[in-house]
Chains A and B, each alone.
Chain A
């Protein structure tokens, strides 16, 4: 039944050790998003894909990169995690078209801990 799947649900990494979070969807949606949510803060958009068209938010650190090899999968790569990167990472999808009118479908998130 799960439509947006994120693996793993919990990820522990060491300071500076690259880590990859994954997201897959069964909805065949064109748009995929990655959000970062730190404790007691609002989810913040890192980047999104419209099909293969990648859109990076201006304030997303260079340390964060993403790949979307096909419609179903999207990856978030953190090249050198710092303590400040510890957060919940949410993946979401939506149908294409007039983006604001389409609800987003979220995965359950991956909680990243950096030691």
Chain B
């Protein structure tokens, strides 16, 4: 069983604060790392697909970085808003496991107005 770990498990921040959380994964056979946002009662939505070491991607106030050599990715949210409240999931795709995605347990973010 491949271990993808996310920390922290949950996080409460004040509106306007910036925040970040981590996804750690085995660095061997790396192929791609996905980030998804899952709002309550909705479908998980893709934020980023990251494939290259050193990748940095940005979508509005949210950005992500990738370090495949040490096996981690950071997700940053600048100036958190209540609508950012969601669970953020990362998923690892390795090159030797067919179409298997390995998900972390997620970081639950609550932004307090």
Chain A interface residues (CB < 8 Å from chain B): 4, 31, 33, 35, 40-45, 48, 50, 55, 57, 90, 92, 99-109
Contact = CB atoms under 8 A, between A and B. Distances in A.
B112 interface: no
Interface in B4-51: 4, 31-32, 34, 36, 41-46, 49, 51
A31 B93 CA distance: 15
A44 B100 CA distance: 10
Interface of B: 4, 31-32, 34, 36, 41-46, 49, 51, 89, 91, 93-95, 98-106
B103 A106 contact: no
B42 A108 contact: yes
A103 B99 contact: no
B103 A43 contact: yes
Contact of A90 (B31, B32, B44): B44
Contact of A101 (B43, B49, B103, B106): B49
Max count, chain B CB within 10 A of own CB: residue among A50, A90, A106: A106
B41 A108 contact: yes
Given A4-B43, A42-B4, A55-B98, A104 B105 contact: no
A69 B88 CA distance: 33
Shortest 8 CB-CB contacts between residues of A and residues of B: A100-B93, A103-B46, A100-B32, A42-B103, A100-B31, A106-B44, A106-B43, A43-B103
Given A106-B44, A108-B43, A43 B89 contact: yes
A90 B31 CA distance: 23
29 contacts: A4-B43, A31-B99, A33-B99, A42-B4, A42-B89, A42-B106, A43-B89, A45-B100, A45-B101, A48-B99, A55-B99, A57-B100, A90-B44, A92-B44, A99-B98, A99-B99, A100-B31, A100-B93, A100-B95, A100-B101, A101-B51, A103-B34, A103-B46, A104-B34, A104-B44, A106-B44, A107-B43, A108-B42, A109-B43
Contacts of B51: 100-101
